[in-house]
Amino acid sequence: MILRRLSCHEVRESEEAGFVAWADGALRGRRARRLARRLAADPGAGARAAAYREQSEMLAGLRLALPMNDTPDFHPELVGAVARRLQRVRRAQRAAAGAAVALLALCGVWWAAGPFSPGDGGRLVAGASASAVTRPDLSALGLSAEGEESPVPGVRAWLYRDAQGRPVRVVVAVGEEAMGRALAGLPRTHVAVQWRRGAVSAALVAPGDSPWLAQGMHLVEAALPREEPAVAPVVPAAGDGRTSAPEPASPPETDGRSL
Amino acid sequence: MSRLLQRRNREAQSAAGAEREERPDGAARAGRRGHEEELLHHVAALRRYALLLVGNPDDADDLVQEALVRVLVRTRVWRPVRDLRAYLFTTLHNVFIDELRRKRHTPVKVDVEGLVDRLAIPAGQTDRLEWRDFVRALSRIPVEQREVVLLVGMEGLSYAEAAKVLGVPIGTVMSRLSRGREALRRLVHRAGPRLRVVDRS
């Protein structure tokens, strides 16, 4: 550690800062007691600190002496408009926070017991082709479908509009890289909820204040193709009353890039 | 009313009109009233701060109006407003700095008598002459020190809050505050003790 000797000016400034902090009531504990002892012992310092305390009282008095409750000289609608804007912003932020919490909870549930869990047999087709995906029906969310877009080769994307006419997109891709390219240039007003199933990635891109994000994920998920269960449920075998399982279907041959 | 204020009035009118069109009907009326009351409370503090910063009511209202228009135009949902008071004071500070840069060669003229006339001074307390000396001394300290003195001393912001509003480290706030308060003390002291009537009989 390099110690530097303080100049007289710096020492004085530090001392004055201590007096000001004491006058403002910003000092606590041992430091406040030490300064109080110093002020009691040094009349000059005590007088300066007393002047600062008087200043603090006058500054606080200014606040009371200037209540500013007269009508401001600007447009009367302005304050109301700003209040409405701030209210909307806070509401949207609360909705987004709620949606994020709901999403996290949903992902947790899915991971533990839902369609993402490895053992349930409800998986997407291994190395799936996005071309097999049909356009998800999001009309239950009040979204109107506008058509399909091709933002990046190998990616499928559908455009919808919400009630305010804002664009909402569903994107399905194979591979993280393709999805990353498809989501590049996302508008700052929008959030992308993205999830992955093996090689297939899906994303729902919507305005940040949309309250239906979790529900939208469900609907998109429902539209994704699923393979037959790898292990079929155990069924009673004919005749002898014992149980047996049929042979699992062999997985489709694919290189995982056949979008 | 200054030309800038008239221009800002027109801008505010159009911005307010746009906000009104976007406003949903029905719900959350009580919440809106609460927001308006909270905002009005902060607007009073902004106007008081601006008045002591620039020295006359027209320029102060200009500044506050410009800050509110900026909040209306620039506030976005992805930028959370956690502390509304700090957010408004920060915007006002930015507008003030922009104005200072624009009017670099125009000296700020503080109407001390006009300011003292506006003070609602309780009878029997610090007299008018003392207030006049204090306000005059306040108007003479450098503007970056005056900002800190007003934010901390008058509006009661903590050092950390003032640092956030002004966009400077907390050490800078402490240094500006102590230098500003010392300058204020010297200026008030230089005005000297005044003769007072202690007994009219």
Note whether A6 contacts B: Cβ–Cβ < 8 A.
no
Q: In what helix (H) or strand (E) does residue B44 lie, and over which residues does it extend?
A: helix B29-54
A94-98: long-range contacts (C-beta < 8 A, 24 or more apart)? Answer: A95/A209, A95/A210, A95/A211, A96/A191, A96/A208, A96/A209, A96/B77, A98/A211
Instruction: Report, in angstroms and rounded to the nearest whole number, the Rg of chain B calculated over CA atoms.
Output: 19
**Which has the minimum average pLDDT: A111-115, A144-148, B16-20, B147-151?**
B16-20
Out of 1.10.1740, 1.10.20, 3.40.50, 1.10.3470, select the CATH number for domain B1-18+31-109.
Answer: 1.10.1740
Q: What is the reported pLDDT for B177? A: 94
**ipTM of the complex as predicted:** 0.78
Residues 39-98 of B with CB under 8 A from A: 39-40, 43-45, 47-48, 51-52, 57-58, 61, 64-65, 68-69, 71-72, 75-78, 80-81, 84
Q: Which amino acid is at B198?
A: V
For residue A16, what pLDDT is reported?
A: 84
Beta strands in A175-242 (DSSP E): 190-197, 200-207, 235-236
**Which residues 6+ apart lie within 8 Å of A33 measured at CB?**
none
Which residues, numbered 22 to 41 in chain B, qualify as contacts with chain A under a Cβ-Cβ cut-off of 8 Å? 22-23, 28, 31-32, 35-36, 38-40
In angstroms, rounded to a whole number, what is the distance separating the alpha carbons of residues A18 and A10?
A: 12
- pLDDT score of B96: 93
Residue A113 has a pLDDT of 57
Which residue from A185, A62, A190, A78 is spatially nearest to B19, judged by alpha carbons?
A78
Distance CA A57, CA A59 (A): 5
Please identify which residue in the block is written with the tokens 């194979």. Answer: A174
* Interface contact flag, A78 B44, Cβ < 8 Å: no
pLDDT tens-digit profile of B131-180?
Answer: 888 999 999 999 999 999 999 999 999 999 999 999 999 999 999 999 99
Alpha-carbon distance of A88 to B74, in angstroms, equals 13
Q: Comparing B117 with B17, which gets the higher pLDDT?
A: B117
CA distance B13 to B6: 11
A23's enclosing H/E stretch is helix A8-23
Half-sphere exposure of B121 (CA within 13 A, CB side): 18
Does residue A169 sit in helix, strand or coil?
A: strand
Dihedral, B95, B96, B99, B103 alpha carbons, nearest 10 = -170
Q: By the 8 A CB rule, do A203 and A229 touch?
A: no
Rounded CA gap, B105 and B88, in Å? 27
**Residue B50: CA atoms inside 13 Å, Cβ hemisphere, count?**
32
Helix axis angle, A43-65 to B128-140, nearest 10°: 100
How large is the average pLDDT for residues A185-204? 75
**Out of A4-8, A189-193, B31-35, which region has the weakest mean confidence (pLDDT)?**
A4-8
The Cα B180–Cα B178 span in angstroms is 5
In sequence order, the 6+-apart residues with CB closer than 8 A to the CB of A87 are B28, B31, B32, B35
Q: What is the mean pLDDT of chain A?
A: 73
List chain A residues with CB under 8 Å of B118. 66
- Helix, strand, coil shares of chain B, percent, nearest 5, are 70, 0, 30
Give the residue extent of every domain in chain B. Answer: 1-18+31-109, 112-193
Report the relative pairing of strands A200-207 and A144-149 from DSSP bridges: unpaired
The CATH fold assigned to B112-193 is Arc Repressor Mutant, subunit A (1.10.10)
> Cα B139 from chain centroid?
13
Q: Which of A23, A26, A56 sits opposite B159 (nearest CB)?
A: A26
* Residue whose C-alpha is closest to residue B189's, from A41, A55, A12: A55
- pLDDT at position A34 over 80: yes
pLDDT at res. A109: 67
Report the Cα A194 to chain-centroid distance in Å.
Answer: 13
Could you tell me how far CA B114 lies from the centroid of its own chain?
16
Could you state, in order of their start, the residue ranges of all structural domains in chain A? 8-65, 88-227
